[in-house]
Amino acid sequence: MIGGGVSGITCALLLQKSGFVTEVISKDDFERVDPSPSLGSLYPAASIIPHSVKHPNLNSLFERSQKVFKHLNLAAFQGLKTHLHFELFSEKQRKPEYHHLLKKFKVLKSHELSKAPSHPEIPIQFGYQFECFFADWNIYFPALVKAYLESGGIITKKELKRDQIVSLDSDIIINCAQLGGPELAGEEFEPVIYMGHLVKINGVPPLKKDPNETVSYNFTPGKKYYQSEKGHLLDVYCYSRESDLVLGGSRLTGTISENGDWVGEKVIEPSIKIGKWVIPEQIFSLNSEIIKNYFGSDISSYKERSVHIGYRFMGNKEIGLNLSSEQLGGKLLIHNFGHGGAGVTLSWGCAIEIQKMISQHYGVKNSELPELLNSLSF
């Protein structure tokens, strides 16, 4: 397994639990204090919603992931929770094509929109709600890594190139290297990347309307209130975690230079500076007004704030998840990169698909989902 992010660790854990002997090889040190924006697995929000990703089998991958997250949630896997989640818009929209896969999905009627999280000056024209799985990343990802190591897995820090793959002591190589994925796949490197900004505010109690139900939301206020440098429509979002509140909502398009520098859209005015980072002012101001209006909480009083910058690798040359296989030097090489903003969301679905691809390659019986779920006992 090449890549120690959520895709690599999840896939390695599933295969390890299925009886394979696995090793995760990662060139990055995930315990660095100031990690690179390229290490997106260190700080996703992370709601289980297939935003910003394309694949012909998206719905089936998402459905399988949902079933595993449900299984893990019932087993009280660390850091995995559910939220009442709202997707809200200032203009008319259609419900998502995957709506039938969302638990307790409901398009909100006019009188129900007024009871949803809202900005006091921006009317909501369309919205829906559902029960959303949510991975509290400061807890979930370390628990995932721990589960993998306790299952007998190995993590090795090492950087690999495509011409070194054939020398690995394994018949199956799985490329979950994300930004490094195209090089390992032998592709010319022309990544499509979204840059995102997350604001973490420590000490904010979980945002709830009901004592037993945490609420999260995405809100698209319209171009009048929030757009990118190139005029792309943007949204803001808010998620409560155990130790902090996460605000986000930028999506700047661009790519990475040969020197690793960002080349693309810049943060536009109005902007604010938190620590060393300049971010879109709307991430804080729009969310602040919504939170105060709906929850009655003034987050401006919480001064311990930090910003993380992350790259969402949307795909190479064009947007799309690469979930494919090839033969290289007598080895089976499987690619799993380009998840965009849905790396966590599709992590289990892609892992199950990879297990299926391996079974088909070797002509052996594929493990059915109930069997795989039974193997995931912690």
Is the whole model's pTM more than 0.85, yes or no?
Answer: yes
Closest CA to 135 of 85, 80, 86, 207: 80
228: three-class secondary structure by DSSP: coil
- Per residue of the chain (378 residues), what is the pLDDT tens digit? 999 999 999 999 999 999 999 999 998 776 655 566 666 656 677 899 998 899 999 999 999 999 999 999 999 999 999 999 999 999 999 999 999 999 999 999 999 999 999 999 999 999 999 999 999 998 999 999 999 999 999 999 999 999 999 999 999 999 999 989 999 999 998 889 999 999 999 999 999 988 889 999 999 999 999 999 999 999 999 999 998 999 999 999 998 887 878 899 999 889 999 988 899 999 999 999 999 999 999 999 999 999 988 889 999 999 999 999 999 999 999 999 999 889 999 999 999 999 999 999 988 888 888 888 888 887
Closest CA to 6 of 142, 183, 134, 133: 142
- pLDDT for position 54: 92
Q: Report the Cα–Cα distance between both ends of the chain, in Å, rounded.
A: 22
Q: How far is CA 145 from CA 12, 77, 194, 333, in A?
A: 10, 12, 26, 23
CA distance 11 to 28: 18
**Are 239 and 216 in contact, with CB atoms under 8 Å apart?**
yes
- Topology, domain 6-375: D-Amino Acid Oxidase; Chain A, domain 2 (3.30.9)
φ, ψ of residue 231 to 5 degrees: the values are: 85, 15
CA distance 241 to 214: 9
Residue 234 CB coordination number (10 Å):
20
- Would the CA dihedral through 158, 171, 376, 48 be positive or negative? positive
Closest CA to 217 of 274, 308, 293: 293
- pLDDT for position 352: 96
CA distance 247 to 13: 30
- pLDDT for position 32: 55
Q: Could you tell me the residue ranges of all domains in the chain? A: 6-375
- pLDDT for position 187: 94
Q: At what angle do helices 347-362 and 58-74 cross, to 10 degrees?
A: 110
- pLDDT for position 86: 98
In eight-state DSSP terms, residue 52 is: S
**Are 64 and 352 in contact, with CB atoms under 8 Å apart?**
yes
CA distance 245 to 144: 22
- pLDDT for position 210: 85
**Are 202 and 302 in contact, with CB atoms under 8 Å apart?**
yes
- pLDDT for position 369: 84
Residues comprising the chain, all counted: 378
